[in-house]
Structure 1
Amino acid sequence: MAPRRCSSTAPPAASVLVVLATAIALVGADDPYRYFTWTVTYGPINPLGTNQQGILINGQFPGPRIDCVTNDNLIVNVINKLDEPFLITWNGIKQRKNSWQDGVAGTNCPILPGANYTYKFQSKDQIGTFTYFPSLAMHRAAGGFGALNVYQRPAIPVPYPPPAGDFTLLVGDWYKAGHKQLRQTLDAGGALPLPDGLLINGMQSANFVGDLGKTYLFRISNVGLKTSINFRIQNHTLRLAEVEGTHPVQNVYDSLDVHVGQSVAVLVTLDNPPQDYAVVASTRFSPANLTVVGTLHYTGASSRAPGPLPAGPPGQLFDWSMNQARSFRWNLTASAARPNPQGSFHYGTIQTSRTLVFASSAPQIAGKRLCAVNSVSFVNPDTPLKLADNFNIANVIAWDSVPPRPDGGAPRQGTPVVRLNLHEFVEIVFQNTENELQSWHLDGYDFWVVGYGNGQWTENNRQTYNLVDAQARHTVQVYPNGWSAILVSLDNQGMWNLRSASWDRQYLGQQLYLRVWTAQQSFSNEYSIPTNAILCGRAIGLPH
């Protein structure tokens, strides 16, 4: 039997790359199937020193880490033993031709209490640092999240020598209130309170051990509900190695802002005197002034490095963060997850087919505070949009009911789906009309972040776009009263969720769906409905 090359255990960090690379050489050219059974339960946790009810996967908080290799097929049987419906979404995994496995309310019926659903998807043509998390009912506030690391095949080089090991850091804000209590607060029209703490890997501290003179890969993901963080390591620099599955120019930073839903990986060389050094994450752009501190321990060290904790960026300056974001550049000479140079796709020379400007707001609708996109606050229907589209069920989807630009319309609720054609090349501008930093995510895709700016976006701002080596990623921050612009090639057919990565705003309606479609139906464009698909709402009993 060939050894497994994908697991949800947590082997020693230094051995992961060696084990995975060796295993793929042994299994041969076929893309193997890897099977997991996850049982989701409630269980006691105390990440901030007080007992809470958490959501556990196989008894773990955070959930099991998946380490796998490009093109592995992942079969994940999720058994729901909660008292509520449940779904998991795979943040940043493109789900090529397979939005049936996206795990959000618009594509999948929920897994009912006592039932199970088996996700079947492939880490197709991807490498990098990704996460998974619950997508319904504020479950994310209670746990159920974890890391999903995709390693390269030996035939696909990465633009840096193999590190001595790598460390996964799931960093995020945390609340002592349970997810049901937080949901009740939002349902009553209130805002989330300030978070009570920050966690690293579900704890208030974490230790990372390495040897003098060696270089390690640190994978940092912001798995919080809504708070940006800044990450830094005492007396060490961070060489940017990966941004959400793509290789950037390897600029060196003292610290990095990582916004909700985002992931980065950095190379850190242990080139200081052997001591213990502080690994620090702190809140950004939030009245909550929170810090979590871990330890980078040099093997054999017996003392703590002197001096205060490393300071974060000056004040709460948005311009500092925006300038750092602009400094992220795509490495045009590095291989991607497949043997095509990333720079072979000259996105800046392609004519866009349309422009969509999506403005956020938090209006009062029927006496309740909600969140909206171009004045439309999304409401999940009882029949997932993907099922309604597949079975031609009428009066579920409000096609193109969100205006392509803000039009001053009255705030309203709806189920908007924007119809787009397969292989369109689209410009999307996210306009932030509010005073809090926001974060947007698009399922099923990477996109080029070509511009950031302050104030109201206009066509003249295109003159400032980076049309050569803009960073590709799947989640982009939008600074207060500012805008962020992306270009995206719609090469992945399906029904895809475009949402706020700030989970309270997503819950309150700051989301919509993009339906990417062509009349030329083919398995080369999109897979058919899975035979094990759960049917609900008006799709119950329909043949599939």
Structure 2
Amino acid sequence: MNHIRSLASSELYLCTCLLMLIIGRGCSQVLYDWTVSYSQRAPLGVDKQVIAINDIFPGPVLYASTNDVVNVNIHNNLTEPFLMTWNGIQMRKNSWQDGVQETNCPILPGQNWTYSFQLKDQIGSFFYFPSLLLHKAAGGYGAIHVNNVPDVPIPFPQPYKDYAVLIGDWYNVDYRDLRASLENEVFLPPPDGILINGLGPNQARFEFEPGETYRLRISNVGLKTSLNFRIQEHLMLLVETEGSYLVQQYYGSLDIHVGQSYSVLVTAKNQFDGKSYYMVASSRFTILEQSGIAIIHYPDSAGDPVGPLPLGPYLSDYNFSVEQARSMRWNLTSSAARPNPQGSYHYGNISITRTLILENNLMFTGTKRRFTINGVSFMHPDTPLKLLEYFQLNDVFEYYDIIHDRPTATLPSSYTFVIDALYRDFFHIVFQNPLLEVQTWHIDGYNFFVVGMGWGLWDESKKAGYNMVDAVSRSTIQVYPLSWTAIVMELDNLGMWNLRSQYAENWYLGQELYLRVKSALGDDQSAISTGDEAPIPANVIKCGRAANL
């Protein structure tokens, strides 16, 4: 057993890959070498220092397939420490590679580090982005496409082409100035505009061939703005979100909240009329509407589109957004990462281990403004929690589970707090939003089932209306103003996992916590029964109190 625990991560992955190849499940090594650097761009006509990857903004698409081992060597050519996180990727029992502040020491300027992780049983559309120091406000993001293994067919005809579409709000102000504003108690202002694939209005272009079907993988990579996505005179067939195939339905427009990803199929027009068409991503629930605009060209297009943009829902129409979210259903008969149908997992029959009602809010401590979960704002210790745990520097864990399972009337506070859970626990989490703006929440390392949402405060009676049969499984969910959203999830991924607000401002100012998922058995038995968590990487970066250990 000690021999197994001492193997390097790459050796363990190789053993796992060999087993998967023997049983026909596929597995290969995917290698990327990325240099992260500054680059001068002007997406909205104002010159700005952006973060590019291999001098590309947005960064290159990361392509992989189910069960692949992904290796990304990142060279940090910035002047600040850097981390990359993988939004929605369920790396197999390996939070060492998660790329957030409490699982990884940062890559220092002038240095490089290789992320190496195996994908869990997973397919779908996701994205990566920098997780430290508000770097996301300067870019550094890109799409992730996880494809099916050959023996698991996709539940629709193979598209002619597959396009990544990254939409998000954009600030002309330098990210360091935005960061300083947050630290000086100034809220982020409205953005200066909306980008599509890193480009301003009418700059991003997509080529369509008449009669062909295209898969658009759309991700909202912005900081705080919900967006409505639509294409002039083209319907969108929604087929997948964040690793789950959906019951296929046509939509004229889609609300996509911060951190969310969707796949749609769009069939190109078959007639030759010389037209081109607008693709639009417009802000939702804002005082003034802002729009990102791209162009769809056909071979016979005579020029850019003319006339008004296609209309979306009313700017403040929350009911439209809620009803659209409720209309989405998990495709029970389709296979996803495995040959068996998605509906073979009967999540509604699993007993709840623990219920958490997590309420987002705002607090002031003297002159400092912080965002909270159940009255607690997360404070980062001097050493990542993952290293503190590994080297048994456990004094910081005196505050584990300090957070209450429900909102209380106690005074808000700031702590380093961790929720302890056991492998295979089944959590019921209600995100409750008492504020007047939409919130979005994300949990690293997992998908969860979105079983209900409604207005007002949550209470036990709301369980009667839960969807416990075909709720959508995903990793990022919105919570509307003065409302709640309920999820259920099986904790089947050992490690230290980040639960956070996807709003960059809220996350930066403390609206996050960590789930520490541990084996219920002793060390020797857990390695056999659960495969154990991945060992500390041979190339681990050590910092803080662990720097010389």
TM over 0.5: yes
Q: SS state of the match for residue 357, structure 1?
A: strand
Is 1:273 paired with 2:271? yes
Moved more, 362-371 or 131-140: 362-371
Distance in 1 of aligned mates of 2:109 and 2:304: 49
Q: SS state of the match for residue 250, structure 1?
A: strand
CA-to-aligned-CA distance 1:101-141 (integer Å, 9 cap, x gap): 00000101111112211100123321111100000010000
Unaligned runs of 5+ residues in structure 2 are 1-20
Is 1:428 paired with 2:429? yes
Post-superposition offset of 1:29:
7.0
2:89 aligns to what? 93
Post-superposition offset of 1:348:
1.2
Distance in 2 of aligned mates of 1:478 and 1:390: 35
Q: SS state of the match for residue 203, structure 1?
A: coil
Question: Does the 8 Å contact 2:358/2:429 carry over to 1?
Answer: yes
2:388 aligns to what? 388
Post-superposition offset of 1:297:
1.5
CA-to-aligned-CA distance 1:326-383 (integer Å, 9 cap, x gap): 0110000000112221101111121111100000001112321110000100111111
Aligned pairs for 1:123-138 within 5 A: 123-138=119-134
Distance in 1 of aligned mates of 2:63 and 2:114: 19
1:373 aligns to what? 373
Post-superposition offset of 1:39:
1.3
Q: Please tell me the residue identity of whatever aligns with 1:529.
A: I
Moved more, 247-256 or 67-76: 67-76
1:293 aligns to what? 293
State the identity as a percent: 51
Question: Does the 8 Å contact 2:283/2:315 carry over to 1?
Answer: no
Distance in 2 of aligned mates of 1:58 and 1:164: 27
Unaligned runs of 5+ residues in structure 1 are 1-24
Q: Please tell me the residue identity of whatever aligns with 1:72.
A: D
CA-to-aligned-CA distance 1:285-334 (integer Å, 9 cap, x gap): 12242101111222223255665211011341111101100011000000
1:400 aligns to what? 401
Is 1:151 paired with 2:147? yes
Q: Please tell me the residue identity of whatever aligns with 2:516.
A: R
Post-superposition offset of 1:32:
2.0
Distance in 2 of aligned mates of 1:530 and 1:260: 31
Distance in 1 of aligned mates of 2:429 and 2:362: 20
Aligned pairs for 1:457-496 within 5 A: 457-496=458-497
TM-score of the pair, normalised by structure 1: 0.93
CA-to-aligned-CA distance 1:140-163 (integer Å, 9 cap, x gap): 001111111111122111110001
2:163 aligns to what? 167
RMSD: 1.5
CA-to-aligned-CA distance 1:68-101 (integer Å, 9 cap, x gap): 2222211111111211111000001101110110
Question: Does the 8 Å contact 2:26/2:149 carry over to 1?
Answer: no
Post-superposition offset of 1:219:
0.8
Question: Does the 8 Å contact 1:371/1:508 carry over to 2?
Answer: yes
1:332 aligns to what? 332
Q: Please tell me the residue identity of whatever aligns with 2:477.
A: V
Distance in 1 of aligned mates of 2:105 and 2:178: 23
2:546 aligns to what? 539
Distance in 1 of aligned mates of 2:306 and 2:173: 36
CA-to-aligned-CA distance 1:420-467 (integer Å, 9 cap, x gap): 111011100001011110000000000000111111111111111111
Question: Does the 8 Å contact 1:492/1:525 carry over to 2?
Answer: no
Question: Does the 8 Å contact 1:195/1:288 carry over to 2?
Answer: no
Distance in 2 of aligned mates of 1:288 and 1:67: 37
* Count of aligned pairs between the two proteins: 516
The 1:488/1:30 distance shift into structure 2, 3 A limit, reads closer
Distance in 2 of aligned mates of 1:40 and 1:199: 20
Report runs of 4+ in structure 1 exceeding 4 Å deviation: 303-307
2:531 aligns to what? 524
Aligned pairs for 1:37-52 within 5 A: 37-52=33-48
CA-to-aligned-CA distance 1:263-305 (integer Å, 9 cap, x gap): 0010111135332111111000122421011112222232556
Is 1:497 paired with 2:498? yes
Distance in 1 of aligned mates of 2:354 and 2:183: 36
TM-score of the pair, normalised by structure 2: 0.92
Is 1:206 paired with 2:210? no
Post-superposition offset of 1:175:
0.1
